[in-house]
Structure 1
Amino acid sequence: MSASKPQASGKVRIQPSLNKSEEEFVARRRNSVLQSLKKLQIQCSKDEVPNIALLGSGGGQRAMVGLLGSLVQLQKTSSLLDCVLYLSGVSGSTWCLASLYQEPDWSTKLESVKDKIIQRLGGPAVSWGDALAKLKKYYNGKDFFSLTDVWAVMVITAYVKEIDEHTLKEQWDQRSKDPFPIYTVIDKQCKQRKSGDPWFEITPHEAGYSLTGAFVDASSFGSQFQKGSKKNKQDEFDMLYLQALCGSALADEDEIKKLLWQKIKDFFQQKEKILEEMRKEQDKRRQEELRRERGTGSGKDFVVGLKLGPPEALLHRISERSQPDPNSAATDECYQLLMNTVDMNLSVSTALDESIRTTLNDLSGGILKTADKKAEELNEKCHTMDAYNNLREQINVWPFDAWMNIIKCMDLWIWGRNYNFLHKMTGEAVHSTLLESKTRDFEDAGLLLNSPYFSVLRKERNIDLIISLDFSDGDPFMTVKDAAKMCRERNIPFPEVIIPSEDSEKPKDFYVFKGQNVPTVIHIPLFNVVNCGDKIEDWSNKYRTFQLPLSAEMITDLMEVAEQNITNNKAKVVEEIRAIIEQKRSRH
């Protein structure tokens, strides 16, 4: 990290302007873009240099690999990537960004960086022990523990095959030769209430509400603020957590619940390892209590310790006051209750055959006999909270305490909970919705719009050209159509989007939407009639958003398909860049 970087201010910034560090980067990057345009035989003045933003949509590992392949080809194709000012992602695309920015100036050596990423994706999974250790760090190191932490450890690691504990700021250097990265999420409460500003961005410098213009230093995101000033600091989030925060909606809620309950069950089935962790934690607590009761560091403390009797007797007394022994029958009963609770929740979330449901009925005391699904879900919630309250009174030691909190988070469906840095602030610039609560919940932006348009549509970023790489499931034009509709509702300049009816099921590989005084938008669907022929549906079914991690062969095939979209349209992209420069020239 550059020594000249400003330190976190510890204050909330409510201004529509860009962060000063971002402004400085943009000025440097535009000079670099000017030189790259000359290599493409495009002549223009510094004032005529277009601001180009590249967007990666959501789509799980399909989006991660698809974006990687597209970027590789953009760099191979006359260094078009060097003309990009901003690189923004949603959900799975942010996994690609997180991997790329591990390497300083990755765009200058993208082929070798790509090979390194692909090798990792095809390598071994994160070990159970490392995952549990990371879960413990999250559990003990945060004021708010949520399903995002669980998702990071149990799901994101399964796809990205690593635990990246670097921070966003550690990845970034002001002298970077790469596009400026923007990670995007949404504010759940704003989305649900349909008020305020749901669009939230996280950059190497700041985190905050894109359209409102309310930000804190990125390293302060998650810390407690009151009336605009930092009250209590929280450790800066790491890249694994950021990927989970951005990529927390691989599918709908029911699918996520089924996956998470299954992952929790898989963890619980490591019974001996869990109990060993419990023993270690108890031993640690007992030793700490022993040291406190005996006293250390002075002669007086030593005398007090002698009066307490021999260590064996003292340990026995401490043990009697402590949590149940991991080897005891009571602990086995608690463990079984946890397993039964997980099984019961899993059965409600999954269509199981009658024989399995009968077995689970017996385990759960007949709670699953209710035929009505809504009644089952209500019973499941009541049973889950009863189990949580019962176990909390009996066992409060790692990792059982974490498992109980996970079950509570599952029941209340708590994701991405952090302190609200706008809490109790005053000012007309911020909607009252954002000022009221002490905490805010953040989630995958794909739940509202599966492409990060609003991160680059901030007026002060002055974007001239948006290149949207769409890796979404379903309608290949939904993101751009929804973006146009939302922009109309908010009076944000955006071109009119008209899709030929015959293209809805059979999209081409390149679309351009433009107009007067609006950014030009290039839209590129991943699977189309050019690179897939008449087998678009086959490709879509093969690469689902919600599926197991891709094999090495599938990764290679997907990379090639994504690369074709860029190779086939290089000349068209250059043509649009020329057209924008001509427009700028005509205005001067």
Structure 2
Amino acid sequence: MSASKCRKSSEVRIEPSLNKSEQEFVARRRISVLQSLQKLSTPCNQENVPNIALLGSGGGQRAMVGLLGCLDQLDKAGLLDCVLYLSGVSGSTWCMASLYQEPDWSTKLQTVKDRIFSRISGPAVSLKDKFAKLKKYFKGKDHFSLTDVWAVLAVTTFVKEIDEHTLTDQHGHNNKDPFPIYTVIDKTCKQRNNGDPWFEITPYEAGYSLSGAFVNASTFGSQFHQGSRKSQLNEFDMLYLQALCGSALADELEIMKMLWQKIKELFQQKDLVLEEYKKDQQERSQEAKGKEKESALGINLQGGFKVKLPEINVFPFKDSNSASVDKCYQMLMNLVDMNLAVLNGKDPSALDESIRAKLNDLSGGQSQRILDKLRPADKTLCMKNYTKELCNFLTDQINLWPFDAWMYICTCMDLWIWGRNYNFLHDITDEAVPSTLPKGDTRDYIDAGLLLNSPYFSVLRKERNVDLIISLDFSEGDPFLTVKDAAEMCRKLNIPFPQVNIPNQDIEKPKDFYVFKGQNTPTVIHIPLFNVVNCGDKLEDWRKKYRTFQGAYSTEMITDLMNVAGKNISNCKEKLMEEISAAIGQKTCSC
């Protein structure tokens, strides 16, 4: 298929220009920005209104709360309405998702902020609600992955809600707010260091920022072939989006430990698990009876021909009694504990012996084949193979909710599958699309923080014409890593970006405001969260108190973090105004 024909008939948009809806949004927003600048007594006209992008880095709940504190102070300083784009990575997207639930949130930020504060400092999502949401994801998606599990078990721990709104729900609801851009990366492009890893998601489109290949946000995740949609799946909700964007809280080992622990916490509620199992068993039984009745009545179900109905095994156990179900339950709990033991360097031998005994009982002594495949358990046990073999066996024995999901999750843990969705560029032919992207009918999307912990490349698209970038950095570790890496990546990609030079004495003790400028580049303001200005001589104490990988914050921790983050704005209001005025002046000269 030629590129021109592909574009003409395709539901995929392959061109660098902005989506029409974004263009209209930006035009309206620039009028609001002009009005805001006039209120601040800053000389400006419609032609030289600067395009200002505010970036929120990753950093888990620290980033979520930190961004909220900064936005609060931007609002109080009268600067929030000067922002055209708001883009986030990882934890910052959790804050964004909460804000954009509310139509025109920036016009009533104090009320919205109080509501978010009350929620994230309040009670946790109930296990029953988590089970119900996990079931929705498991039974309603073509590609269930660890991202769905992370959404239900981890993200809800921090955001304290199950947000089932969608991005397209926001159409027309946020006309007075900055334009939101959520960012992730393409896992394969990152690993192979080719193609275009930078992927953005807005209320209107989802796609590759630098290649300019996009699909409607409501159809992202649906099945495509050569630019045509083959099936329409339900649009992903905001809880899933927050998990897609925010899963790089630590290294892989720590994530695995956290996931196994969260799985244990959910499924150790035995009464709830067995209640769900019985409910699903009854639903399968009713389904079978209904189909048997239809068959007996000779109802034509397909193309005018009678369909031979498949047999539905309502009682999957050869010995379908509570004792058998209990043995399967205990084996799965032991399997979870074995994985945790091995990850924590403990001896899992006793758990292995328990599993072997139950396997033998369940099969009436006929389980030698599976027992032979399970290698003797010790501290160096390969748990991936052990987990796979045991789940394969149990799948043959019991295949009802929630046991089926439980075993599938174990498989996803083994294969480490995150963010899997249909590839909307599958087999598409267009010279503008890197040759690696159309390969395969699925792609995996992961937290952008695994490549660059700030969403620079979403706002560096030349079509967005950004003049000033304000980077709020909530990262752990080197407080300048994101801006240094962005500069180096841009140099390699020939994308205009100012040179970044950091004084040696500032590496360990950063200040609260840095400005980087270049010729024909956007101006970049870099603001580290914890610095010697807002933390004084207790810089290390603040860093230790707010680690990326820890549980949900207390009310006091949230309050203190919002305050210290807000100081980075209130202390720098005049400097921010100077750089905004300078951006206006530079734009005036170029006009």
Counterpart of 1:269 in structure 2 is 268
Counterpart of 1:424 in structure 2 is 427
User: Which secondary structure state, in structure 2, belongs to the residue aligned with residue 535 of structure 1?
Assistant: helix
Shift of 1:198: 0.3
Contact 2:284 2:314 in 1 (8 A): no
Counterpart of 2:145 in structure 1 is 146
1:506 aligns with 2:506: no
Runs of 4+ off more than 6 Å: 317-320
Shift of 1:351: 3.2
Contact 1:278 1:326 in 2 (8 A): no
Shift of 1:461: 0.3
Contact 1:275 1:326 in 2 (8 A): no
Shift of 1:364: 5.3
Give the number of aligned pairs: 555
User: Which secondary structure state, in structure 1, belongs to the residue aligned with residue 16 of structure 2?
Assistant: coil
Counterpart of 1:342 in structure 2 is 336
Shift of 1:363: 3.5
1:175 and 1:212 map into 2 onto residues whose CA distance is 27
Contact 1:209 1:215 in 2 (8 A): yes
Q: Please give the residue correspondences for 1:135-284 in structure 2 after superposition, counting only pairs within 5 Å.
A: 135-173=134-172, 176-284=175-283
Counterpart of 1:109 in structure 2 is 108
1:319 and 1:40 map into 2 onto residues whose CA distance is 71
Counterpart of 2:129 in structure 1 is 130
Shift of 1:345: 1.2
User: Which secondary structure state, in structure 1, belongs to the residue aligned with residue 65 of structure 2?
Assistant: helix
1:21 and 1:163 map into 2 onto residues whose CA distance is 28
Counterpart of 1:71 in structure 2 is 71
2:586 and 2:376 map into 1 onto residues whose CA distance is 66
1:470 and 1:318 map into 2 onto residues whose CA distance is 55
Shift of 1:326: 6.8
1:129 and 1:324 map into 2 onto residues whose CA distance is 30
RMSD of aligned residue pairs (Cα, Å): 1.8
Counterpart of 1:557 in structure 2 is 560
Amino acid at match of 2:451: L
Contact 1:87 1:180 in 2 (8 A): yes
Counterpart of 1:13 in structure 2 is 13
Amino acid at match of 1:351: G
Counterpart of 2:345 in structure 1 is 351
2:154 and 2:442 map into 1 onto residues whose CA distance is 25
Contact 2:105 2:174 in 1 (8 A): no
Contact 1:360 1:368 in 2 (8 A): no
Shift of 1:295: 4.0
Contact 2:285 2:314 in 1 (8 A): no
**2:479 aligned to 456, 476, 500, which one?**
476
Shift of 1:213: 0.3
Contact 1:361 1:367 in 2 (8 A): no
**2:324 aligned to 327, 330, 342, which one?**
330
1:490 aligns with 2:493: yes
Counterpart of 1:51 in structure 2 is 51
Amino acid at match of 1:360: L
Counterpart of 1:32 in structure 2 is 32
Amino acid at match of 2:588: R
Shift of 1:292: 2.3
2:238 and 2:353 map into 1 onto residues whose CA distance is 43
1:370 and 1:263 map into 2 onto residues whose CA distance is 24
Contact 1:182 1:455 in 2 (8 A): yes
Shift of 1:412: 0.2
Q: Please give the residue correspondences for 1:432-447 in structure 2 after superposition, counting only pairs within 5 Å.
A: 432-447=435-450
Which shows bigger deviation, 260-269 or 457-466?
260-269
Q: Which digits, 9 at most, give the CA deviation of each residue in 1:483-509, with x for residues without a partner?
A: 001000100000000000000000000
1:151 and 1:117 map into 2 onto residues whose CA distance is 21
User: Which secondary structure state, in structure 1, belongs to the residue aligned with residue 11 of structure 2?
Assistant: coil
Q: Which digits, 9 at most, give the CA deviation of each residue in 1:290-322, with x for residues without a partner?
A: 222234997x88xxxxxxxxxxxxxxx987764
1:292 and 1:460 map into 2 onto residues whose CA distance is 56
2:294 and 2:213 map into 1 onto residues whose CA distance is 50
Q: Which digits, 9 at most, give the CA deviation of each residue in 1:140-167, with x for residues without a partner?
A: 1100000000000001111101000010
Q: How does the TM-score come out when normalised to structure 1? A: 0.91
Counterpart of 1:305 in structure 2 is none
Amino acid at match of 1:221: F
Q: Which digits, 9 at most, give the CA deviation of each residue in 1:126-182, with x for residues without a partner?
A: 111111000010011100000000000001111101000010110342661000000
2:196 and 2:47 map into 1 onto residues whose CA distance is 32
Cα distance, 1:80–1:326 mapped onto 2, change above 3 Å: farther
Shift of 1:439: 0.5
Counterpart of 2:308 in structure 1 is none
1:584 and 1:251 map into 2 onto residues whose CA distance is 41
User: Which secondary structure state, in structure 1, belongs to the residue aligned with residue 387 of structure 2?
Assistant: helix
Q: Which digits, 9 at most, give the CA deviation of each residue in 1:383-415, with x for residues without a partner?
A: 111012111111111111111110000000000
Counterpart of 2:354 in structure 1 is 363
Shift of 1:115: 0.4
1:111 and 1:440 map into 2 onto residues whose CA distance is 40
Counterpart of 1:287 in structure 2 is 286
Shift of 1:333: 2.1
1:453 aligns with 2:456: yes
Counterpart of 2:369 in structure 1 is none
Amino acid at match of 2:334: N
1:521 aligns with 2:512: no
Counting aligned pairs with the same residue, the percent is: 68
1:363 and 1:215 map into 2 onto residues whose CA distance is 52
Q: Which digits, 9 at most, give the CA deviation of each residue in 1:173-226, with x for residues without a partner?
A: 266100000000000000001000000000000000000000000000000000
User: Which secondary structure state, in structure 1, belongs to the residue aligned with residue 248 of structure 2?
Assistant: coil
User: Which secondary structure state, in structure 1, belongs to the residue aligned with residue 206 of structure 2?
Assistant: strand
Amino acid at match of 1:242: L
1:88 and 1:479 map into 2 onto residues whose CA distance is 14
User: Which secondary structure state, in structure 2, belongs to the residue aligned with residue 432 of structure 1?
Assistant: coil
1:31 and 1:577 map into 2 onto residues whose CA distance is 16
Contact 2:184 2:244 in 1 (8 A): yes
Amino acid at match of 1:248: S
2:435 and 2:296 map into 1 onto residues whose CA distance is 54
Cα distance, 1:128–1:117 mapped onto 2, change above 3 Å: same
Unmatched tracts of structure 1, length 5 or more: 1-8, 302-316
Amino acid at match of 2:166: T
Which shows bigger deviation, 237-246 or 575-584?
575-584
Shift of 1:11: 0.3
Shift of 1:367: 5.0
Cα distance, 1:251–1:318 mapped onto 2, change above 3 Å: closer
Cα distance, 1:10–1:342 mapped onto 2, change above 3 Å: farther
Contact 1:324 1:395 in 2 (8 A): no
1:321 and 1:274 map into 2 onto residues whose CA distance is 17
Cα distance, 1:250–1:572 mapped onto 2, change above 3 Å: same
Contact 1:197 1:211 in 2 (8 A): yes
